[in-house]
Structure 1
Amino acid sequence: MSPRFGIMTAPMQVDYADLVRVWHEADTLPAIEHAWLFDHLLPIVGDPDGPIFEGWTLLSALAAQTSRLRLGLMVTSNRFRPPAVLAKIATTVDVVSAGRLDFGIGVGSRPSHPLARREYEAHGLPFHETAHAVQALAEACAVIRRLWTDATPFDFTGDTVQLKGAFGNPKPVQRPHPPIVIGGRAAATLRVAAEHAGVWNIPGGDLDDAVSRSALLDRYCTELGRDPAEITRSIHLPVSYADPALTRKAIGEAVDAGFEHVVLGLPSPFPEGVAQWVVDELIKP
């Protein structure tokens, strides 16, 4: 299968107009099939007090201004929003986009990253330990899927999620539901991905580790009786404007290793014509 290429524009340290410009351009270029934002509430790179936009609100705005790109957050922090609320938000974006949402979700910011950890305290959000957060992710995936598909209200009693009379209406445009993209590398997260994901994403940088994590995902799928080939392997690779050959090499190695969904992280500021540059310098070669 030929790799499918997309771009990531982190919505921090940038203006809204710049993001719109890049997404508009990418929407006209069929070689770029998907586009992504991330999900943080305070900057994790650059000026810690610099500007940053809320991911899902911005995604809905960009969905309304594009017509072809598949789109999503790489990936939503499950720690930020109650899952039933998140299901409603995601449904709204799928409707606004006429069925182009790829639903990215993960455990949330790793506790070892201080610039990510601070956003929870700054917004009055609890930061539970990893075991709790992984259980919450598994229950969130189960609940969100049911809100997208169940035809009648239901109750849910889990360790981290309790719902009474939960019901989703309208349903997403995509049936049975938008593709679920789970991001992460920890073994516990891979177990959740084996059960719920249609796409699994891992940050690039250490390809040997990514390959070993992909093999572990295969093993978990087999244990669950699921065909590992049902889960598309996705990788996020940082782009170097100064040395595109370096990025091309990383792309080639990742594709050869079985990663057929490639997300190219564009550093800001975004040059004029950056989407066309991505096609000419990174995808076509």
Structure 2
Amino acid sequence: MPHTLRPSFGIMTAPSQVDYRDILRVWREADTIPAIEHAWLFDHLMPIGGDPDGPTYEGWTLLSALAAHTRRLRLGVLVTSNRFRPPAMLAKIATTVDIVSGGRLDFGIGVGSRPGHPLARREYAAHGLPFHDSAHAVGSLAEACTVIRRLWTEEEPFDFHGTHHHLTGAFGNPKPVQRPHPPILIGGRSAATLRVVAEHADLWNIPGGDIDDVVRRSALLDRYCAEIGRDPASITRSIFLPVSYDRPGVTQDAIGDATDAGFRHIVLGLPAPYPADVARWVTDELISMSL
């Protein structure tokens, strides 16, 4: 059923195969355009496309730098790999970015790289990081969301002894600017991940492509919310859509399909290299045409 609420639009600049100054240019331009409400990076340590030996920046470090160079955009990582950082450390990192940005962080997190993607899988071995099976990774994500929220909100130290994470005397200080905490966006499409979304997320993101599958996944999330007594409408539906500079009509159609399906949070992935004035182009050719 089509929804009447106006969607919010953002951009995603993958911090790979590009120069820092190129990303900074795009974000600074976007920060001046009210129609672009949010901006995102991804979380990989090595390229997952293009030259496998090309440059890739660490997402949270770069996000903090971009937070300091912008004033209005909401910002985040789409999405943080829960496999890369212990949850208490990630909570501290995210709090720092929320403070640097003046309370503009949207906290994106997910299970981590798809096991079947060889270029995504290699970054774990290359950095000495374990790569557990999907059941382990989903369970770890659920516990991480619990730990992170508690660190952001609780005023006394606590112990946590889960299946995957164990903390003694855990305490977060300072707290994030946003209260009770930054919005939590969880990305993913598997049924197991959607159960975590139903329990913990304020926003849910899924990659676009097969809109029929996206709709089915959204309906499954509705069902999981109902099972635990949560209003499905309390979770904003977010979708990532790749941008075609040469064929904007294709992207316009994808935006229309997504908004008709109830997705109100649209993230437009900008391929590099970025044309001059790309944020203005996105606004004129994609966002304005979709409102």
Question: Normalization by structure 2: what TM-score?
Answer: 0.98
Per the alignment, residue 63 of structure 1 pairs with: 67
What is the aligned counterpart of 2:125 among 95, 116, 121? 121
What one-letter code is carried by the residue in structure 2 that aligns with 1:136?
S
Structure 1 residue 16 displacement after superposition: 0.4
Per the alignment, residue 177 of structure 1 pairs with: 181
Per the alignment, residue 57 of structure 2 pairs with: 53
Per the alignment, residue 144 of structure 2 pairs with: 140
Query: After the TM superposition, which residues 134-283 of structure 1 pair with which residues of structure 2 at under 5 Å, given as runs?
Result: 134-283=138-287
What one-letter code is carried by the residue in structure 2 that aligns with 1:113?
H
In the alignment, the residues of structure 2 paired with residue 227 and residue 11 of structure 1 have an alpha-carbon distance, to the nearest angstrom, of 35
Q: Unpaired runs of 5+ in structure 1?
A: none
What one-letter code is carried by the residue in structure 2 that aligns with 1:138?
A
Question: Counterpart of 1:246 in 2: which secondary structure?
Answer: helix
Question: Normalization by structure 1: what TM-score?
Answer: 1.00
Question: Counterpart of 1:236 in 2: which secondary structure?
Answer: strand
Per the alignment, residue 110 of structure 1 pairs with: 114
Per the alignment, residue 135 of structure 2 pairs with: 131
In the alignment, the residues of structure 2 paired with residue 111 and residue 246 of structure 1 have an alpha-carbon distance, to the nearest angstrom, of 30
Per the alignment, residue 87 of structure 2 pairs with: 83
In the alignment, the residues of structure 2 paired with residue 257 and residue 135 of structure 1 have an alpha-carbon distance, to the nearest angstrom, of 29
What one-letter code is carried by the residue in structure 1 that aligns with 2:108?
G
Question: Counterpart of 2:39 in 1: which secondary structure?
Answer: strand
1:7 aligned onto 2:11: yes
Per the alignment, residue 98 of structure 2 pairs with: 94
What one-letter code is carried by the residue in structure 2 that aligns with 1:95?
I
Structure 1 residue 169 displacement after superposition: 0.2
State the Cα deviation string for residues 139-176 of structure 1 (Å, max 9, x = none).
00000000000000000000000000000000000000
What one-letter code is carried by the residue in structure 2 that aligns with 1:100?
R
In the alignment, the residues of structure 2 paired with residue 110 and residue 249 of structure 1 have an alpha-carbon distance, to the nearest angstrom, of 27
Structure 1 residue 116 displacement after superposition: 0.1
Question: Counterpart of 1:284 in 2: which secondary structure?
Answer: helix
Question: Counterpart of 2:93 in 1: which secondary structure?
Answer: helix
In the alignment, the residues of structure 1 paired with residue 137 and residue 55 of structure 2 have an alpha-carbon distance, to the nearest angstrom, of 27
Runs of 4+ in 1 over 4 A off after TM superposition: none
Structure 1 residue 207 displacement after superposition: 0.5
State the Cα deviation string for residues 223-279 of structure 1 (Å, max 9, x = none).
010000000000000000000011101101110110010000000000000000000
Structure 1 residue 221 displacement after superposition: 0.3
In the alignment, the residues of structure 1 paired with residue 17 and residue 137 of structure 2 have an alpha-carbon distance, to the nearest angstrom, of 28
What one-letter code is carried by the residue in structure 1 that aligns with 2:255?
I
Q: Unpaired runs of 5+ in structure 2?
A: none
In the alignment, the residues of structure 2 paired with residue 252 and residue 45 of structure 1 have an alpha-carbon distance, to the nearest angstrom, of 27
What is the aligned counterpart of 1:27 among 5, 19, 31? 31
RMSD of aligned Cα (Å): 0.3
Structure 1 residue 117 displacement after superposition: 0.1
In the alignment, the residues of structure 2 paired with residue 194 and residue 154 of structure 1 have an alpha-carbon distance, to the nearest angstrom, of 25
In the alignment, the residues of structure 1 paired with residue 257 and residue 89 of structure 2 have an alpha-carbon distance, to the nearest angstrom, of 39
Q: How many residues align?
A: 285
Structure 1 residue 98 displacement after superposition: 0.3
In the alignment, the residues of structure 1 paired with residue 132 and residue 250 of structure 2 have an alpha-carbon distance, to the nearest angstrom, of 38
What one-letter code is carried by the residue in structure 2 that aligns with 1:28?
T
Per the alignment, residue 284 of structure 1 pairs with: 288
What one-letter code is carried by the residue in structure 1 that aligns with 2:279?
A
In the alignment, the residues of structure 2 paired with residue 175 and residue 257 of structure 1 have an alpha-carbon distance, to the nearest angstrom, of 30
